[in-house]
Structures are given as C-alpha cells and as structure tokens.
Structure 1
Amino acid sequence: MQYRTVPKNGDKLSALGFGAMRLPTRMGRIDEGRAIKQIRSAIESGVNYLDTAYPYHGGESEKILGKALEDGYREQVKIADKLSPWLVNSREEMEQILDVQLRRLRTDHIDYYLLHMLDARSWKKLVDLDVFAFLEAARDAGKITNIGFSFHGDRKTFREIVDAYDWTMCQIQYNILDENLQAGREGLEYAASKKIAVMIMEPLRGGMLARDLPDEAQAIYDRPGLSRSPADWALRWIWDHPDVTIVLSGMNDERHIRENLLTCEDALPGSMSSAEHAVVDEVRAVYKRLIRVDCTGCAYCMPCPFGVDIPQCFHFYNQYHMTGNRIMTRGFYIGQVIGFDGDPSNASRCRSCGKCVGTCPQGIAIPDELKKVRRDLDGLATKLMTPLVKMVMKRRKE
C-alpha cells in the first residue's frame, strides 16, 4: 500500500481510501455481511482511511462501519465523518448529531470531522450558527480530532473557506472530466499551498469512467500496448498529482477492490508519462463531446417526492447518447427504472416541484433535464418495447 502524509499532523494515510457511500446492497438494503467482509479485507490490505456521513444509506452506513470496526479493526484506521448543514439549525442539533454518529460508529472519537458539502449558502449558514465554536468544543472534549470540510461550490467560495480557518484537510470532487469543475485543479493546488491535505471524491464519476464506456473511448484504451482497465487509467491520473493525499473509492465489488489496491501500489506522484497523459486527454475529449448530464450518481437529490429515480434516469440518458446500442439501453431503462411491479421511477413522474435542484452538488437543472430524458426514453418506442422486455425478464426469472 502507498501512504501519503497529512502535512499538519503527520498522519500516514493510505492513498486509497474506502468510501462508504455506495456499499453493496441486497433487496434495497446494505448487504451487511458482504459489506463488513469488504471493509475488513481492505483494512487487511493496508487501507487505513474510511469515509462515511450521517445521511449515507439512510444512516445505515455509519452503523455498518461501526460493526466492521469491531474486533480490533478500529485501532488500525482513521474514520472520517461529516456534519450535514441541511440537518442542523442550532448548536444543540449539531451536538445531537455528533453523539448519534459516535453511537452508530461504536467509537468515542472521530478522527476527521468534516463540514459536509459546502457551497456559498451552506457555508454562510454554518458560520452564522457559529459552527467553529461547536467544532472546537467537540475537539477539546475529545469527540473529534481533526477538522475539515467537503466542497461542492464555486472556486471563489472555496478560496474563502480555505482562508477562513486552520483546516487539517478538505475533500473535493476531482477526476479526468472535472479538472475545472467546482474547486478543480486550481482549488487542489491552492489548498495544498496552505498545507491542507486534499482528499478526492468521485474519482470515477459514480462509475461512469470505469464501465459501459462509449465505444470510441474504449477503443482508445484498447490500443496495442495499453493494457490497463479504464478504472486504472482514471485513478492513476489522479494519484499522479503530488498534491493529492487520498483518493476515495466507493468500492462495493470484491474484484474492483482488488484492482484499486493493485493500481494504488505504483501510482506514485509524477509517474505518468506525457504519452500516457495524452491518452487520458483523448478519452476526456470523447466524454466531453458525448455526455449530456453531468450527474455523478451521488443521490443527494433523492428521495423524489413523486418517486423519480433521478440518478438512474440520468445514467441511462447518458448511456443512451454515449453508447452504440440504444436498444439495449432502452431495455435496461424499462427493466430497472420503469419496472413491471406498478411502481415506476421513470422521468415522466417528475412534476417539476424543484425540491431536488437545491440539493444537487453539480448545480444541474434537474426538472429541465428530466424533460429531455422523458422525451428520449419515455416515448412511444419505449411503450412498444415494454411488453417484450417484460416477457424476457419473466423468462429469466423462471
């Protein structure tokens, strides 16, 4: 395992962190046994930084993590958890949430405590609530150790937040498509210049950069002499940055965990050649040309009051326009989003209430984009195809 140092406290943290936002599920709930085995296996392989948050999996993520860290595993790792601004309106509520988190995690302290998903509006709210008094009191009481923040706003606000406090670390979205989104490379370098450790989230854009690639992008990676997987390329590109401390991967498949661990071993800062960077530049250009909605699948927009599965709708909409097999994509949309049980979650259920808009870290005009999904994937062709897909799915179940 490769380890990188947090400048302000000297912690040696695994360059690969385990993100617990997308744990394996079964029948709509976390597959507890499998998730615990995955977490412990990663720790045994050298991963020592685990990231969760109060809302992940409806609060179940923290509980599973707490169970996974029993039997001596807690002493081997650092836990990162978060205070979500939309859940608090007073100092008392902040204290209540922290106490709940400690109980869920079965620990007496959280090593890295972050203000969650900051942008200009949530930052102002927390400052007005005197959040630093709460954080420092919690630190003095031994409930938290290091203070940081995660970010989903504009670059000006990012600089303002970085300059406002003596942060130990920050967490930003960064990948081959988002070099200039939100904090971006400029923010990464600015935070590092202040000796703030930088943890990277969404390195694979919710899996978009690792699976079901556009044919043109896959053809680039398939050239003779380029034997790496798409995930390997995307992760290696981030670890090539010397200012990156940790790359968080939402690992929920055993094979993917093994692959990520293997990549991390030799993906050292500055290890990529100019020719390898040129390959990534080509792939990026393909995505930029084809992608329709910049959704990462984080699901902060959920649940929808009208039952729309917003991330799934955007996933299949992007796939519809990026891959060469639109019929297959439509079939999966029918099977996984429209469904056959009388409880569809497709784009046509949207009533443009706007509740989702304010929660989207990417600033997507979700109702407007869902109208486009409805146009392309909820029309006559889908209605005509639905009985066939239903028949095929029924046979498969039998």
Structure 2
Amino acid sequence: MEKRIFAAGAEELSLLGFGSMRLPQRSEDPTDIDEALATRMFDYAIENGVNYFDTAYPYHRGESERFVGRTLSRHPRDSYHLASKMPTWLVKSEADLERIFNEQLEKCRVDYFDFYLAHNLNVDYYDILRRTGIYEFMSRKKKEGKIRHLGFSFHDRPELLTRIVEEHEWDFAQIQLNYLDWELQNAARQYEILTDHGLPVVVMEPVRGGTLATLSESACQILRAADPSASPASWAIRFAASLPNVMTVLSGMSNMEQVQDNVATMNAFFPLTEREREVIAEALHAFKLASTIPCTGCRYCMDCPAGVDIPGVFATYNQYCINKNAIAFETGYDVLGAEHQASHCVNCKACLPKCPQHIAIPDRLREIDQTAKKLFSQT
C-alpha cells in the first residue's frame, strides 16, 4: 500500500483511507449496518495495508462509531490511525463538548484519537466554533494526549478557509476534492490555500458520493478507451492521490468490490500523466452534458420536515439524466413512495443551510417534480 509521511508526527499513513459514512446496510435504515460484511471489508483493507479509518458522531445516525470501535478493537491499537469529529452544530455549552467527546471515546473503544476534527466547518458552524470554545476544548484534549493531531473538515468558500487556517493553529485539514469539484467548488483554490499554509490535506468525496464511479456511458467510453482495465472510480481516486500535499484519500466504501478496487489502485499507485489528465478532462466534459444535480448523498439535509427523501429523489433523477430511461425513472421514483417524492416539498428551505454542496434544493425539487409529471404522463 502506498504510504505518505505525516510530517507533524512522522507517522506513515496509507494513501487510501477507509471512510465510514457509507457502510453496507441490511435495510434502508442507516443504523442497520451489515456488520458481518463491513467487518470483512475492514479486515481486507487492514490486511492490504490500509491504516487510516475515519468516522464521525452522526454517521449512520450514531452507529458508525460503535461499529468502528467494535471492529478495530480486534486489532492492535498501534496498527491503525483513527479519526473522528466534533459535531459543531450540536454544541451549546462546555458540558456538551465533554459529554460528546467522552461518548465518542467510549463508542470507539479507544483512549485517544489519532486525528480529531471540528466537523463540517462552514460560515455558520465556524461561528459556533468561535462562540462556544470548541477549538479551545480540542486544544486542551490535545495537550492531555486524548487527541494526537487536530484538524477540521470544510465545506464552504476559499475566503472562509483562509480565515480558519490563519485564526487558529491546525495540524491538517479535510476538504472535498475530486476532478468535478476541482473547478465546480473551487477545490483547486482550497488545496492551494492549505498547501501554502503547510497543512496536509485529507481528501473526502474523491468519487463524489459515487457519482464519478457511475458516469454517463459517453464519459465511461472515453475512460475505457484510454485504459480498458481501469474502473471509473480508480481514475477519480488517482486524481486526488496524485496531488503531493494529499495525506490520505478517504473512500466511503459500501461493498467488498469497492474495497478491492481501491486497494488495487493504491497498491499499484502511480500519479496521473499529463495525457491521463487530458482524458479525465474529456470524460468530465462528456459527463457534464448530462446535467446531473451535484448531490453526494451525504444526507445532511435530512430529515426533511415535509418528508421528502431529498437524496433519494436526486439520485433517481440523476440516473435518468445519465441514461434517459423514463420507464426506469418512473419505477425508481415509485419505489421512494409517494409521500417522499419531490411534489411534497413546501419550500420551507430548512435544507439549504445544511447542504455542503450549496444546492438550491427546493428549486431543484420543483424542477424534478415538473419533469416527472411531464414524463410519466407520456409513459
């Protein structure tokens, strides 16, 4: 497994990290993790050199940390690096900080976190961090040895990122970076800011919630023509991993095939060539013509007060944008259930400040509702 040296501690970190936001499930219930399969996936990753595992307080509605704790505790503590995050939006007082942090240590079955982050900093959550003493609390835990390395995950504009890195001292940062967001969300500038400030980068969403693994057929044809043996996901993983200041690339893997493909990519890793970058640009251009909604399925927008399954609606619609199969769109839409479809959006806008991708969710739901009504009347 390709390794990178984390300069702040001289640790060797696997270039592939295992993200635990999208663990396999036995049902639609996010808490219903398929623990037998997920354990096999973790063990396979560890056997093949993966030593960085990432989780967070809200993942799988609180069950991700518990699963990670049960599974990783079967392995020597010094054989893996564990990252988790303080849910900034839940913090109202110092008591909340102590309660949440101690609960996380207990659930993860550890005495310390190797990497610990202020979760999902945007303009609103950064204000919470500054008002409630989250940074000071985490710094104190670092001095106590409960946190080895202190960082933050980020979803906002480069101007705010500059403020965050200049107003506090950090060891690393985690940003959304992939070849779609390199320009779409200015990940290029974010990477540049962190690099200029000497902060190693942990990459999240390298495959953009699976979007870059399920490209349009025209985009896939371009990638296959360049390398018939490489999966679309491997192109995306290599794009992120080819950046020299990237510490590790997190992949939220949901099945064994994804683990095996990502491990194979990093075990035989080599940076992208200039020609391969051109191929990605060509494939991206073809994919953009499908006009999909840039949703990663993170579900931070949920639960919707009106009952709309926002990520489910977007995923079903995106698939239609890619394959233009109206019958499959109608079938998938029906599976969501009438009460969870776009028509039930009441434009309350509760979802808007929660979306890391800054999608105009009510507007897009209205578009989808209109498209669905038009298409389904013709089928």
Q: TM-score scaled to structure 1, two decimals?
A: 0.90
Residue 75 of structure 1 deviates from its aligned partner by: 2.9
Tell me the equivalent position of 2:100: 97
Partner of 1:88: 91
Give the counterpart letter for 1:284 in structure 2.
L
Partner residue in 2 for 1:41: 44
Query: For 1:25, what is the secondary structure of its paired residue?
Result: coil
Please give the per-residue CA displacement for 1:122-141, whole angstroms capped at 9, x wherever unaligned. 11221122223211221222
% same residue: 39
Aligned residue for 1:24, secondary structure, equals coil
Partner of 2:363: 368
CA offsets, 1:82-127, max 9 Å, x none?
0111100112211110011011101111111100110122112211
- Partner Cα separation in structure 2 for residue 57 and residue 143 of structure 1: 24
Choose from 151, 155, 175 the match for 1:152: 155
Question: How far apart, CA to CA, are the structure 1 residues paired with 2:76 and 2:297?
Answer: 30
SS at match of 1:9: coil
Candidates 259, 282, 291, aligned match of 1:257: 259
For 1:188 and 1:7, the matched residues in 2 are separated by 17
Tell me what 1:293 maps to: 293
2: CA distance between counterparts of 1:203 and 1:91?
A: 34
Aligned to 2:113: 110
Q: Distance in 2 between matches of 1:357 and 1:194?
A: 31
Task: Write the mapping of 1:277-356 to structure 2, written as runs, cut at 5 A.
Answer: 277-335=277-335, 337-338=336-337, 344-356=339-351
Partner of 2:178: 175
Q: 1:175-231: CA deviations, max 9, x gaps? A: 1100034461122122123221100011111101112x2121122123265431111
Deviation at residue 20 of structure 1 after TM alignment: 0.2
Aligned to 2:4: 4
| Alpha-carbon distance change, 354 to 166 in structure 1, aligned in 2, over 3 angstroms | same
Q: 1:50 to 1:225 in 2, by over 3 A?
A: closer
Equivalences for residues 171-250 of structure 1 within 5 A: 171-182=174-185, 184-211=187-214, 213-223=215-225, 225-250=227-252
Q: Is the Cα–Cα contact under 8 Å of residues 226 and 279 in structure 2 kept in the other structure?
A: no
**Moved segments of 4+, more than 4 Å:** none
The letter for the 2-side match of 1:231 is A
Q: Which residue of 1 aligns with 2:71?
A: 68
The one-letter code of the counterpart of 2:63 is E
In structure 2, the gaps of 5 or more residues are none
Equivalent pair of 2:218/2:287 in contact (CA under 8 Å) = no
The Cα offsets for residues 125-183 of structure 1, whole Å up to 9 and x where unpaired, read as: 21122223211221222222211000001000011111122211100001110003446
Query: What CA distance in whole angstroms lies between the structure 2 residues aligned with 1:228 and 1:136?
Result: 43
Indicate conservation of the 8 Å contact 2:201/2:248, yes or no: yes
Partners of 2:186 and 2:54 in 1: CA distance:
20
CA deviation map 1:326-347 (0-9, x unaligned): 3223322223x13xxxx74211
Find out whether 1:132 has 2:127 as its counterpart: no
Q: Secondary structure at the match of 1:72?
A: coil
Deviation at 1:384, TM superposition (A): 8.0
Q: Distance in 2 between matches of 1:235 and 1:136?
A: 32
The residue aligned with 1:274 is 274
Question: Compared with structure 1, are the counterparts of its residues 45 and 89 closer, same or farther at alpha carbon in structure 2 (3 Å cutoff)?
Answer: same
Q: Is the 8 A contact 2:326 2:375 kept in 1?
A: no
Q: Which amino acid aligns with 2:220?
A: Q
Q: Supply the distance in 2 between the matched residues of 1:21 and 1:224 (Cα, whole angstroms).
A: 32
8 Å CA contact retained: 2:207, 2:237: yes
Q: CA deviation at 1:351?
A: 1.5
Pairs aligned (count) = 376
Question: Match of 2:167?
Answer: 164
Secondary structure of 2:202 counterpart: strand
1:382 equivalent in structure 2: 376
Q: Provide, for residues 219-257 of structure 1, a one-character-per-residue CA deviation record: whole Å limited to 9, x for no partner.
A: 212326543111111111111111211110001111110
Counterpart contact for 2:57–2:87, Cα < 8 Å: yes
Q: Secondary structure at the match of 1:209?
A: helix
Please tell me the residue identity of whatever aligns with 2:156.
Answer: G
Report what 1:32 is aligned to: 35
Q: Deviations over 1:48-82 (max 9, x none)?
A: 11001100001000000000012234331111100
- Note if contact 2:91-2:132 (Cα within 8 Å) is conserved in structure 1: no
Aligned partner letter, 1:382 = F
**Cα distance in structure 2, aligned partners of 1:78 and 1:9:** 12
> What is the SS of the residue equivalent to 1:233?
helix
Quick check: 2:308–2:344 contact (8 Å CA) kept in 1? yes
Change (3 A) 1:4 1:187: same
Superposed CA offset, 1:340-361 (max 9, x none): xxx7421122122211111001
Q: Which amino acid in structure 1 is aligned with residue 200 of structure 2?
A: A
Aligned residue for 1:79, secondary structure, equals strand
Cα distance in 2, alignment partners of residues 9 and 158 from structure 1: 24
- 2:254 is matched by which residue type in structure 1? N
- Where structure 1 has 5 or more consecutive residues not aligned to the other structure, the ranges are 386-398
2 CA distance for matches of 1:300 and 1:140?
Answer: 31
Whether the 8 Å contact between 2:326 and 2:376 is mirrored in structure 1 is no
